[in-house]
Structure 1
Amino acid sequence: MDKINLLIVATIITSFISLLLIIFLLTVKTKDKTSNILFAIFLFLNAVDSIEPLFGLMSDRPTNLGIFRTTLAFFQIPVFYLYVLSVSYSDFKFKSKYLLHAIPFLIVNAVLVPRFYAVDAAGKMDFIVNRTSRIELQFIHILIHIQIIAYFAAIFMLLKKAKKLYVENNAGTHINSYNWLFQFTTLLSIVYVIAILKNIFKFSEYPDISEWIKVGIQVLQPFIICWYLFKALNNPDLFRNIDSKLKLVKDIVSEEKTNVSTAVNDEVYSEELLKLQQYMSEEKPFLNPSLTIQDVSKGIKIPVRDLSLLINHKLDQHFYDFVNTYRIENAMNILKDDSKSKVTILEILYEVGFNSKSSFNSAFKKHTGNTPTSYRKQL
């Protein structure tokens, strides 16, 4: 199979799978469709961008529609950024300021008006034939490369902050959602870096390399989409969002201004710590797999801000690890109990507040240095 045929086959497969996933995202029952709609738009934009080989079969001459289709690529990463924002924060809503993300797209199309959109067919052909010397196209390629780098940097910073906010305020096993989204973003960023290389070769002395890279990207895309589809189907409730109004503990500490002496502060924290430890031991709130710092705050009548400082700053533990310590200690007691020797590891992890075997094993090994099975055998 030659390069052209392989590219067309890969394009058809990618477009078909993208369409199926778009339909799934728009029809699946979920509490908040915003994230699904944003990802569906992202897939649609990618599909529109990737159908270039099919578009070329329909018309062998450059057209306004064809170049406009190409410029839609400037919406891809901004939409993905908004998607990540929407799955990270539960209070995400569309705001007028998000329209600013369309500025690069508008600039690019404005730049193309004089020597492409506004000229006749012959002028368009001349523009494309001499594309390597057209400053407009060079500007567009530089701009999209800057956009890709800037947005992916922003997305990784967003995920880092969201994950930290989660572990400081939640003790559920949905932390895996952020790990998965980080993996997906990393994979996607690699694809876009490869696309940047493709564009660099396109304007070099080796345009054939650019064409082969394009084929590689087209072949890779269906696998990435299928991976996402597999995850989505097996984890319909993939994300547990956090409130964007929450602040990182380091920010709270830096903002704190108090007139109370350190000795008094330490005394207050000691009293609150005893109150917290007693509540955790007697009431066992950690058995709730979706426990949040807000739940504990209500239980012991300590403001969330103070409780967050106590656990995350004074104890130097994330709320996530703090709660898991109690869960693991409870699990260890069950494993030591001879009368419960026939209770399976799976039953134990559910009993102590976990709902994921991988999360339980990771937390247990972090706390004891052994897996639950190895720990039981050593007793």
Structure 2
Amino acid sequence: MDLLLFNLHDVVLIMTAFQCALFAFFLLVVRGERRISNALLALFLLSQAAIPLDILISFGAGFREWAIQVSPNLFYIFGFAYWLEGPLLLWYTRSLVYKDYLPKHRELVYLLPLLGYVIYQYFVYFRFDSLAKGEMLQDYDLFAESLLTHGIGTLRELLRWVFGIACLVELRRYHARIRDSYSTIEKMDLRWLWILVAGFLVIRSWAVLVNIAIISSAHLDTFFDYRVMGLASNYTVLILVSALIFMSLHGASVFDGLEAEEESGPGPLEKSRGGVQKSANPGKPQIDPELVEKVERSMTREHLFLTPTLTLADLAQHLGTAKRTVSTIINRHFGCNFFEFVNQYRIEEAKARLADPAREEQTILEIMLAVGFNTKGTFNTLFKNRVGMTPTEFRYRSRAPAPLPQNAV
């Protein structure tokens, strides 16, 4: 960034800012089903647009001089986006995970670091007049900044890193909960968001190292080439933002989201006949054998697993009890989650149909759909994990003639 006007590195920052701002505008003006998610994603993208502008104004040789002449107030104003980006990404993640999500009042505590930084910048910069600000900006030297200023920059990146970890924790909980509540999860797969959040987490980790390199070079006489490290980060952010825009368009609107909280009260069955009995340990109620039998019967005799969209809520409604009660029975008595519980019956039914000579004309795809699966990938993976071979291999071996005994005539 040492040319008079701009160079390739500056162009990357401009492209990132323009791309983010353009897509944010698109999200805000185009109405969709997920308005809250789109609004939060738009705000996150606007913060991503502001950050490269802050870098460009602060460190781009040509743009820095231009900004000083136009208005010294352009400096640091875009830097507030660093403190907003983390909460916005977490809120966006939660808006995809939970149905009808809105940030709660207690979650506004995430904005306290931003408020603290606004107050700090007011006293060290914004309270002065334009002439004084211009003098501060002339002959700026990053190394001349105080340890406090560099420490605040490092704290800022650490906070962004913490919010990235919080996003991964939220996605991990989501992954566990969908398997406890749904038998078919292909349309609920947020692996694309896992990858992107992990990518941003890597960038934030790298930003922490950049700030540590600056502190070491400025205050500990241990020089690191933080400029090259920063440029690598700028290029990677452009790639990640492009991926976020592309993947969010294809993957963010396929699932309505989980309920924010599981039901906790007893269902009508428990109220009428004590479906879950009290035990000596109040944290672990005893499991009602009669209800266990009803759960098994719903699969073995009533074949509810053949419904592709079967959910825990559907099964609980069919049994006339609470979701939490059914989930507890499946987890504790059968030793698996709802996804595994239902699909093991689907696999066993598929095995029976594949081995049935009367169904020889049916294709494997037809059988797969008939037993409740929607995609070949999930069916083949679960079948091989449970049976030890692919459906095609199983059908061939089950129909192959048995070899004659060695002493047969």
Question: TM range, normalised to the smaller chain?
Answer: 0.7 to 0.9
Shift in Å, 1:329: 1.7
Query: What is the distance in 1 between the residues matched to 2:256 and 2:203?
Result: 27
Q: Which amino acid aligns with 1:355?
A: N
Shift in Å, 1:192: 1.2
Higher helix share: 1
Q: Which amino acid aligns with 1:71?
A: F
Q: Which amino acid aligns with 2:236?
A: L
Query: What is the distance in 1 between the residues matched to 2:90 and 2:364?
Result: 39
Higher relative contact order by CA 8 Å / sep ≥ 6: 1 or 2?
1
Q: Which amino acid aligns with 2:354?
A: L
1:153 corresponds in structure 2 to 165
1:134 corresponds in structure 2 to 146
Shift in Å, 1:182: 2.2
2:225 corresponds in structure 1 to 209
Q: Which amino acid aligns with 1:117?
A: F
1:78 corresponds in structure 2 to 87
1:129-188 CA-partner distances (Å, limit 9, x unpaired): 365442441232232133123322322222222222221122221475243322222122
Of the three residues 291, 294, 302, the one matched with 2:321 is 302
Pair 258,17 (structure 1): closer, same or farther in 2 beyond 3 Å? same
RMSD of equivalent CA atoms:
3.2
1:238 corresponds in structure 2 to 254
Q: Which amino acid aligns with 1:300?
A: L
Shift in Å, 1:194: 1.4
Pair 142,218 (structure 1): closer, same or farther in 2 beyond 3 Å? closer
Query: What is the distance in 2 between the residues matched to 1:29 and 1:348?
Result: 40
Give the conservation status (yes or no) of the 8 Å contact 1:7–1:53.
no
Say which SS state the counterpart of residue 260 (structure 2) adopts.
coil
Give the conservation status (yes or no) of the 8 Å contact 1:111–1:136.
no
Give the conservation status (yes or no) of the 8 Å contact 1:345–1:373.
yes
1:87 corresponds in structure 2 to 96
Shift in Å, 1:224: 2.1
1:252 corresponds in structure 2 to none
2:77 corresponds in structure 1 to 68
Aligned residues, how many?
369
Q: Which amino acid aligns with 2:208?
A: I
- Percentage identity across paired residues of the two chains: 25
Matches within 5 A, 1:170-185: 170-174=182-186, 177-185=189-197
1:44 corresponds in structure 2 to 46
1:253 corresponds in structure 2 to none
Query: What is the distance in 2 between the residues matched to 1:54 and 1:362?
Result: 49
Q: Which amino acid aligns with 2:90?
A: Y
Give the conservation status (yes or no) of the 8 Å contact 2:384–2:391.
yes
2:308 corresponds in structure 1 to 289
Query: What is the distance in 1 between the residues matched to 2:39 and 2:151?
Result: 31
Shift in Å, 1:282: 3.2
Q: Which runs of 5+ in 2 are unaligned?
A: 265-275, 399-409
Query: What is the distance in 1 between the residues matched to 2:125 and 2:388?
Result: 65
Q: Which runs of 5+ in 1 are unaligned?
A: 249-255
1:325 corresponds in structure 2 to 344
